[in-house]
Amino acid sequence: MAKMLTAHGRHLGRCVVQQTAGLGRGAAMCRLHSSPVWCSTFDVKSDDYQYIHKSKIPTMHFQKSLLRLPIPALDKTCERYLRSQKVILSSEEYQRTEKFVTQFKEGIGATLQFQLKDIDKANKHTSYICGPWFDMYLSDRVPVVLNYNPFLAFHPEERPGLSDPVIRVTNTLVSSLRFMRSLRDSVLEPVVYHLNPAKSDTPMFRKIVRWTPSAISSYAAYAQKAFPLDMSQFGNMFNSTRIPKLGKDVLRTYPKARHMLIMKNGHFYVFDVLDKDGNILSPEHIHACVSYIYNDQTPPAKRSIAIFTTENRDTWAKCRDELVEAGNEAALDVLDAAAFNIVFDEAILGDDPIKTYHTFLHGDGNNRWFDKSFSLICTADSQLALNFEHGWGDGVAVMNYFTEITKDLANRPSINSDSRPAPIDASKLVRRLEFTLTPSLEAAIDKAHQSYEANTSALKCDVLEPQFFGKKLCKKNKLSPDALMQLGLQAAYYLQNGETVPTYESCSTAAFKHGRTETVRPATLETQAFCKAITQAQLPSHSELKKLMMECSKMHGNLTKEAAMGPRF
């Protein structure tokens, strides 16, 4: 199922960047309009410009000492499986399932458990699920779009002088490069979940763990009820692409590449954003290149190879081989090596959530490169979202990037509408990639468009936005908002179809080394009891319904904790 997460960040004042006389090129200052305080000046060579922040704790400080993902006892695995089945099976079906589970547990299951433990012992550098998880993502042959790639939408940019698409893209690009440099130079703050932030998210905590040897640093954090999260996926975030291959794709990274990819009207544009020493170029320089691309009048591509990334993976692998044979290998390498992708989309979304969903989840397929680790999509009315390929990583890495650049954009955007691009000839710095297409490839593009139209037109979505309650009310009444959401899905299906449906919810296991996600099964006997209660001729009292909801919330919370701590089936 496609996933959508929307960030509702708080605006930290109206911030406008102004070029100031006497500072020279590469220096700027900004004023928060809600405050008379001026931001400090920066130089493009300074750490203040080059980094999103400078952590006192090295980025991968905890990685070596993270706990390993535990293998659950076979008895517990079977118990959890049966618990998930009881709510969706008839009595006869459940009894038959119980019999099969007993046979499995006493036979081949015990053998497989023994083999799994042996494999785990021989690979202490990783988790037992990491390899199979990558295999699962990269071996699946269905298209990544609709099936895997999710998106996250940024809050609309409403501050004066910052909402133009070129301005917003330039600022977001600079903040993203700051994040990338911070990661590469090991000054990005490690991702830590603080159970009690008031006690552990402090300078003293950072000082203690900083001087604790990395071999035991995670344990020092655990003692403070702080839980470092796995950051192994961050290495595939930038200059990374999923490459289609027959049978199983590969992830390829190009850490030495210095260029950026921008798409517009089905065309691919590349330009350098780092100098030869790996420093981020000035915002005025980047502004000039982005503006040049945005204003380029090249007609939309009649046939763009971008549509191939929406295809069945084996079909795309064959087409890529044909592209290489036709002399396009160098251009493909440049595309794949880019830091990440930015898309200028001509859609105007306004306040239409349905159009927003379709645009950011899939678009028309002609102006996306869904294989890139992630793409930032900016519409004509400056709405912005992040669409990412799921094979390389999960929510922890992406959400950390999303959160950090959102804060950076709120506090120190690099340019505004009064800023002027650098006086450079951007036409000599920006290159539009050209691809040679054979008649066979042209036919494949046309066919891919037909398949894509059929698949995307079949996707229907709508929005339900409750106006009378939300997360705060749920928490005030000690009810899990997530549990209530899952209960709503169960109740809706039960009211329509008269039966319980098995559902799937992901839960991160990033508290463990090379953890990925675990499955929460929200369909429980408790949710079923609630659904049956609301379909009775005589409805229960409010207090009875609240009790049933609380029981659902408690069970869902237990399942989530179980999943987050590693046991799976």
Q: Tell me which residues are annotated as active site.
A: 390
Residue 68 is given by DSSP the state B
Rounded CA-CA distance 440/151 in Å is 33
Give the burial class of 464: count Cβ atoms within 10 A of its Cβ; 0-12 exposed, 13-18 middle, 19 or more buried.
exposed
Rounded CA-CA distance 338/267 in Å is 15
Q: Give, in order, the Cα–Cα distances in Å from 277 to each of 173, 281, 569.
A: 19, 10, 48
**Contact (Cβ atoms closer than 8 angstroms) between residue 480 and residue 557:** yes
Side chain identity, residue 273: V
For the CA atoms of 206, 210, 216, 219, the dihedral, rounded to the nearest 10 degrees, stands at 0
Q: Which of 132, 153, 130 is nearest to 66 (CA)?
A: 130
Q: Give, in order, the Cα–Cα distances in Å from 34 to each of 2, 16, 299.
A: 39, 11, 43
**Contact (Cβ atoms closer than 8 angstroms) between residue 345 and residue 377:** yes
Rounded CA-CA distance 270/398 in Å is 23
**Contact (Cβ atoms closer than 8 angstroms) between residue 434 and residue 304:** no
Rounded CA-CA distance 346/349 in Å is 10
SS3 label, residue 271: strand
**Contact (Cβ atoms closer than 8 angstroms) between residue 377 and residue 343:** yes
**Contact (Cβ atoms closer than 8 angstroms) between residue 271 and residue 230:** no
Rounded CA-CA distance 111/278 in Å is 52
Give phi and psi for 227, each to the nearest 5. Answer: -125, 100
Q: List beta partners, residue 386.
A: 152, 376
Residue 324 is given by DSSP the state I
**Contact (Cβ atoms closer than 8 angstroms) between residue 349 and residue 288:** no
**Contact (Cβ atoms closer than 8 angstroms) between residue 233 and residue 59:** no
SS3 label, residue 275: coil
Q: How many CB atoms lie within 10 A of CB 471?
A: 13
Rounded CA-CA distance 252/68 in Å is 26
Rounded CA-CA distance 26/373 in Å is 30
Largest CA distance in the chain: 83
Rounded CA-CA distance 115/226 in Å is 34
